[in-house]
Structure 1
């Protein structure tokens, strides 16, 4: 076995990279027109400033009438997150402007620790047990270090958090949900799932898989036996706890900040339209019809209205995401695989999946700004890899297709953004290639997941 660094070494290197990039971001931003810091981080910081500095125009508008003592983060245009995020970044205002970046980087590190712990305590020992081999703790730790390093030392991960994206906080909540679920602490998992869903709505899809695992094996033949595994005392308890957490946080935020909280945090995402460009297979239709999608002109038929509705895209997306959760979420050992499949189909068929390119004229280079959406499933990949049986060359092919379809799209997006070429149709075609390529990769991963012959250490 090749000598591998210890997990402590990986952690130290991970911390050093993130601290170095955050310090570099301050130097770079002060000297360059094209900023290293994500525009979203400035939105977060402005929202925190509005929260801490109420005025006669900027005050919380909820039923509790606390406007005199607390500001409204939604005074900052384009802030469409829970007010708890602005509260979390309040030290940006009175401590240091980069506090949030350090906080997001710390969440990255803690996520890596959770991944390592799950690999050592559950994932890798289960793989050894499946091969009827004695558990080798030292080898498990070495391989857990290798797999967790794929997250901690992943440029996509540390670039996004050090640029000021808050995705690592959501990733932490999702991992805590998975951690407690795999440990069999379902009450804690329900609370963590409710918190995750409050932070960003998409983790609600994981609840379906959890219900299937909690319910256990069917207690009778046919659909009635299956239904009893989804609806019983244990699953109802989980659902009630999770929903109560979600609604308690939502009601608390609504009482303080009122309708702006509901609209910006949740309702906006239901009717959100991105007519510029993104990976979504729906974007070109949106581009062609924008801004008439919500028009009430009588010339539009019912079928046209349905096709143009922003809600239509949720049908295939949620059917696939929830359907795969019901189909594969039957055993706790398969929970990581199930969540991974659910997340990939959710992202691939999402009506908005953006990625940006920046052009540094002084360096004559194109810089890719990675999409936060990809992190949603890359977070789970280190815990899935030990249970995949895929050849080396097939792995290379999957990585090449995953990266290549993005590069193909980004090149066309560069021509549209920086060269001014009318390439919306070409961009849409490349988006469809991205969808097909990602579906092919996902199908290969699903085929390589063998429950009976799980890859051993």
Structure 2
């Protein structure tokens, strides 16, 4: 376990290096580059997650590596990293595929719908990216299947389709799944209903912001995590790792940023109070936990709206 923690901490430092390289694509001032690196390396949340033996920092590293390669126009290599590492290690980075495909088409709605559709149809780079990504992912998945059999397929892939986590978490869906625990059909229906807003918003965000991949990935991840049927603290690092790179095109005052951060932590604090009473005192606070989950979702939705507005206001200038 100690070796694993050392590995994750080393990857944590490697992410700092990736930040420096990514910031070189976005900023010219050395001060800005250093501040981005410091945000990650001096962040207690990311340090705690890595030092306690959580592997999510590995996913952050390969996601940032994929983003870096795309921003450097090395999209063929990016497709390999995306398929062999990012999506293979953790399935959630698949949510970035629509925005990647659209960004490679260099298409914009300002040119009109007809030209927009033509460019999408003739998006050779996008199709090649999808082919390389899917073939590399399928090849590695097949190798793992040969080595480990159906248990690998069930645990790595199929598990996410029928997962019903009835343990209390930040997602409001947990209480519905808890009440429907004895009804498999109803549980599947709830899971499907949770899936619809996620997919709809991911596709809409890809069309809206594919010309700014760092911001698009940030807001897409926040939406995915916030509206997921399971939401835990370790998921937050998935979008926190994208924040320093994406914030360049978000016009927001320090006062507003601090206000949103306080709101975000306040939402978690409200949730943790009834969760603590349930875990350590055995009190029946499930309804309060559910209401706190709804409150936290409302806060996250408000933050999403604010980030989009601040991004749009800067882009119009």
Give yes or no for TM over 0.5.
Answer: yes
Distance across 2 between alignment mates of 1:445 and 1:219: 21
CA RMSD of aligned residues (A): 1.8
How far does the alpha carbon of each residue in 1:394-435 deviate from its partner, in whole angstroms, 9 at most, with x for none?
111101111100111011110111111111111111100000
Q: Is the 8 A contact 2:46 2:237 kept in 1?
A: yes
Instruction: Tell me: CA distance 1:429–1:245, structure 2 relative to 1, closer, same or farther (3 Å).
Output: same
Query: Residue 386 of structure 1: CA displacement?
Result: 2.7
Distance across 2 between alignment mates of 1:219 and 1:168: 36
Distance across 1 between alignment mates of 2:284 and 2:118: 55
- 1:353 counterpart SS class: coil
User: What residue in structure 2 maps to residue 437 of structure 1?
Assistant: 299
Q: Is the 8 A contact 2:21 2:68 kept in 1?
A: no
User: What residue in structure 2 maps to residue 198 of structure 1?
Assistant: 88
Alignment of structure 1 residues 330-345 onto 2, 5 Å: 331=211, 334-345=212-223
Q: Is the 8 A contact 1:157 1:375 kept in 2?
A: yes
How far does the alpha carbon of each residue in 1:169-210 deviate from its partner, in whole angstroms, 9 at most, with x for none?
111110110000010101011111112111111101111111
User: What residue in structure 2 maps to residue 269 of structure 1?
Assistant: 160
Is 1:211 equivalent to 2:101 in the alignment?
yes
User: What residue in structure 2 maps to residue 55 of structure 1?
Assistant: none
User: What residue in structure 1 maps to residue 228 of structure 2?
Assistant: 350
Q: Of residues 423, 428, 441 in structure 1, which corresponds to 2:290?
A: 428
User: What residue in structure 1 maps to residue 183 of structure 2?
Assistant: 292
Distance across 2 between alignment mates of 1:349 and 1:309: 12
Distance across 1 between alignment mates of 2:65 and 2:120: 23
Q: Of residues 366, 383, 408 in structure 1, which corresponds to 2:245?
A: 383
Larger Rg belongs to: 1
Q: Is the 8 A contact 2:267 2:299 kept in 1?
A: yes
Query: Residue 227 of structure 1: CA displacement?
Result: 3.0
Distance across 2 between alignment mates of 1:273 and 1:307: 8
Alignment of structure 1 residues 3-82 onto 2, 5 Å: none
TM-score in terms of structure 1 length: 0.66
- 2:171 counterpart SS class: coil
Q: Is the 8 A contact 1:271 1:311 kept in 2?
A: no
How far does the alpha carbon of each residue in 1:203-229 deviate from its partner, in whole angstroms, 9 at most, with x for none?
011111111111012599764533333
Q: Is the 8 A contact 2:177 2:187 kept in 1?
A: no
Distance across 2 between alignment mates of 1:245 and 1:224: 33
Distance across 2 between alignment mates of 1:245 and 1:228: 28
User: What residue in structure 1 maps to residue 234 of structure 2?
Assistant: 372
Is 1:103 equivalent to 2:7 in the alignment?
yes
User: What residue in structure 1 maps to residue 148 of structure 2?
Assistant: 257
Query: Residue 312 of structure 1: CA displacement?
Result: 2.7
- 1:124 counterpart SS class: coil
How far does the alpha carbon of each residue in 1:214-245 deviate from its partner, in whole angstroms, 9 at most, with x for none?
10125997645333333322111011011111
User: What residue in structure 2 maps to residue 185 of structure 1?
Assistant: 74
User: What residue in structure 2 maps to residue 403 of structure 1?
Assistant: 265
Distance across 2 between alignment mates of 1:426 and 1:253: 43
User: What residue in structure 1 maps to residue 59 of structure 2?
Assistant: 170
How many residues are treated as equivalent by the alignment? 313
User: What residue in structure 2 maps to residue 394 of structure 1?
Assistant: 256
Distance across 1 between alignment mates of 2:173 and 2:2: 37
TM-score in terms of structure 2 length: 0.94
